[in-house]
Structure 1
Amino acid sequence: MKFEPAPLEDWMRLYYFAVDDDIGSSGVEDYSLADLRAMLGIDAAELDAVVFRDSTSFGSEEVRTAIADEWGTGDPERVMVTHGGSEAIYLVLSTLLDPGDAVVVTEPTYHTHTSIARTMGCELRVWPLRPENGFRPDLDDLRAVVGGAKAVVVNFPHNPTGASLTPEQRDEFVAICREAGAYLVWDQAFREMVVEGEPLADPVHDYDRAISIGTLSKGYGLPGLRVGWAIGPQDVLRGTLDLRDRMTLHLSPLVELLATRVARNAGLLVGVRMEQARHNLGLLRRWAADHPDLIDLPEPMGGASTFPRLLGHADTTGFCHDLAREHRTLLVPGSCFGDPARVRLGYGGPTASFTRGLDTLALAGEKARVQN
């Protein structure tokens, strides 16, 4: 398959490793191996005992059990461990969908939720997340497009907006998918990253056609570990093997060891990082209130990013290029998500760097406003 361009990945390739301050990413501050060893009690002998044999196609029983216990139904036979959530999304959608199938997706959205289906020749039906509603989902908009759909693909809390469902809406949402007979691909990359309240219940617990996609890249600060998973019906997981046998085969035993330990101590790792993100969000709110001529900030319900409008910019792309090149600060233009007047502003990173990034954004924004 020949995929359409992925502007977000192009942008991150260009600038992610070329800046000093990152206020554009959607994850939290990264952990080091030393951090993991200290927090999880992993000693050198445990690492030395790893033998670099092949693993199984679905992942070792130990890591699948740990994931099933923490995020799934407790049944490791319904878990497949993947190279990040991105591989899980690709395998699941490529297995579920056929050309001509109708697929419901949110807009704006993360690119893999749409590009795989579009490349396969599916009919994409948009469930719009409307800026005038603070990007809060409207279930009546979903009802208008879900009839006859093969699958509904979502992630809540949402990337890039930080919008989500209430627990009551979540139950109604699952009921709508059930009534339509659609598969529900629930990308829960940001599940634990809620601003207030508790994480939403994963639909794999109450809908037999739900497939949950998870990752250690976002709330767990481990993007370089490249661990994701899919939890769902066994026939769907088995169907992914034709692709996996021609791609990645399995994970490294060393990666599986670390992933197992993380899964068994998940609350410890995500709790520290979400406390930091909530603190940074408070700083962002105060900063936005101090700069009403620069930014229109929607209130996120979760995740570690929001999708504000930069006032005075019909297209923020050039401004974000200048911010990276001249000020070594990463901000993602909304053109990467189909709304060029906005930016993805991430608040999950180290507080000192986040504060510097906001100061730089204010200076650059004021300079651009004066010039215009």
Structure 2
Amino acid sequence: MKVGRGALSPPFLVMDVIAAANAREATHPGVIRMEVGQPGLGAPRGAVEAAAAAMRSGAALGYTEAFGLPSLRARIARHYAEHYGAAVPAARVAVTVGASGAFPLAFLAAFDPGDRVAMAAPYYPPYANILRALGMEPVLLPCGAGTRFQPTVAMLDALDPLPAGLVVASPCNPAGTMLSPEELRAIAAWCHARGVRLVSDEIYHGLSWGGVAESTAAALSPSAIVVNSFSKYWSMTGWRIGWLVLPEDLLRPVECLAQNMFISAPHVAQVAAEAAMDCREELEARKAGYARARAALLEGLPFRRMAEADGAFYLWCDVGELTGDSVAFCRAMLEGAGVAATPGVDFDPARGGRFVRFSYCGDAEAVLRAPGRLRGWLERGGAG
């Protein structure tokens, strides 16, 4: 029996690490969970209360419009005015089933099977895996510490032939580095002038640490697609709620795709998300906790080379002095130190054997214990 090409997508290895950490925790409690980018605290209080009130009201909470509740779309548009000083009409906002549901909609509307879409490496694995499942070809741009793990216009100028699209992420997963407003503006202008569709992943906005200002491609290009999500800053991973800011030419194509593929994002999650946008005081307190964890890890982790973590809640650590096999290293680290982290090959198959990604958005007290555990494990010869 035939198996479709889309069923042959490679695994997202962090999910395998989660399973291994769960198994280890069952027999050896106290594993420090630094493998997944999931905030340790749930949705903010106001979001939970809004969802509970909606469920108690007796309202059907059925399908919404494919692009979401008008009130949520208007609130997201207001966020662009308040946070970026950008005028984004609510009509250009499409509420989606998380950012994970947004990417297939964007890719299907913007590209055709066989199209080449460029992205920096290291990169968030589902970018490439979704593109391949849709019959498109990822074009990887190897980036290192010299460009802060971000693409440059010079790299784009060297591409021949030109790709149909470019995916950028700022802050990026896994390195946490950001494009400056000037760099993002230059990339957006380059793409628009050459007919290359820019897809800007902005899901970690709100979680930056002061070195680089946040800017949105929605304010820099009339042809760019912006992806965002309530999963990270708003701590709503399991609610599966995100959004797109779309250029005019893709509004109806994406709407038709969304109607057929998803109908709509969950109604109650949309209600909660709208309320979450007014929970800034609680969310900023959580952000301050991430900042403390980040500072402690930057000072205490026993690795000499780490990416400049401008934003998000990850540290991308070069462990090449200890290993060239990050999968085996992470397995040994889980068994020997009780610390779960993600091997770099998940994000860069060619060079990721010498990198490990640590997430610091989980249990704050546990995260602060990680440097001591890792130092002790390495002193015992744990890395082999």
TM norm. shorter chain > 0.5: yes
Q: What is the rounded CA distance, in whole Å, between the counterparts of 2:212 and 2:177 in structure 1? A: 14
1:8 equivalenced with 2:21 (yes/no): no
Q: Secondary structure at the match of 2:274?
A: helix
For 2:49 and 2:131, the matched residues in 1 are separated by: 42
- The answer to whether 1:361 aligns with 2:369 is no
Give the partner amino acid of 2:39.
Answer: V
Return structure 1 stretches of 4+ with deviation > 6 angstroms.
Answer: none
TM-score by length of 2: 0.85
- The alignment partner of 2:354 has SS state of coil
1:28-47 correspondence runs (5 A): 28-32=39-43, 35-37=44-46, 42=50, 45-47=53-55
Match of 1:329 in 2: 339
Structure 1 residue 209 displacement after superposition: 0.7
Unpaired stretches in structure 1, ≥5 consecutive residues: none
Looking at structure 2, the residues matched to 118 and 46 of structure 1 have their Cα atoms a distance apart, in angstroms, of: 39
In 1, Cα distance between the equivalents of 2:143 and 2:310? 14
One-letter code aligned to 1:24: E
CA contact (8 A) 1:128 1:141 kept: no
Name the residue aligned to 2:209. Answer: 195
Q: State TM-score, norm by structure 1.
A: 0.88
SS of 2:41 mapped into structure 1: coil
In structure 1, C-alpha distance between the alignment counterparts of 2:353 and 2:12, rounded to whole Å:
12
Answering whether residue 181 of structure 2 is matched by residue 167 of structure 1, we say yes
Alignment of 1:98 with 2:106, yes or no, is no
CA 359–100 in structure 1, closer or farther in 2 if over 3 Å, else same: same
- CA–CA distance in structure 2, aligned partners of residues 228 and 55 of structure 1: 15
Higher deviation after alignment, 343-352 or 358-367: 358-367
Could you tell me how far apart the structure 2 residues matched to 1:77 and 1:94 are?
20
Map of 1:139 onto structure 2: 153
Q: Is the 8 A contact 1:220 1:269 kept in 2?
A: no
Tell me by how many angstroms 1:241 deviates.
Answer: 4.2
Match of 2:312 among 275, 280, 303: 303
Equivalenced residues, count: 363
How do 1:1-372 and structure 2 match up within 5 A? 1-15=6-20, 17-18=22-23, 19=25, 20-32=31-43, 35-37=44-46, 42=50, 45-49=53-57, 50-71=59-80, 73-145=87-159, 148-197=162-211, 199-265=213-279, 267-288=280-301, 291=302, 294-310=303-319, 311-325=321-335, 327-337=337-347, 338=349, 339-368=352-381, 372=384
Q: Say if 1:22 and 1:331, in contact at 8 Å, map to a contact too.
A: yes
Cα displacement (A) at 1:300: 1.3
Kept in 2, the 8 Å contact 1:193–1:199? The answer is no
Contact 1:129/1:138 (<8 A) preserved: no
**Root mean square deviation, CA, Å:** 2.6
- Distance in 2 of aligned mates of 1:364 and 1:318: 15
Q: Tell me, yes or no, if the aligned pair for 2:88 and 2:218 is still in contact at 8 Å.
A: no
CA positional deviation for 1:16: 5.8
Indicate conservation of the 8 Å contact 1:3/1:115, yes or no: no
In structure 2, stretches of 5+ residues that fail to align are: 1-5, 26-30, 81-85
CA distance in 1, matches of 2:258, 2:313: 31
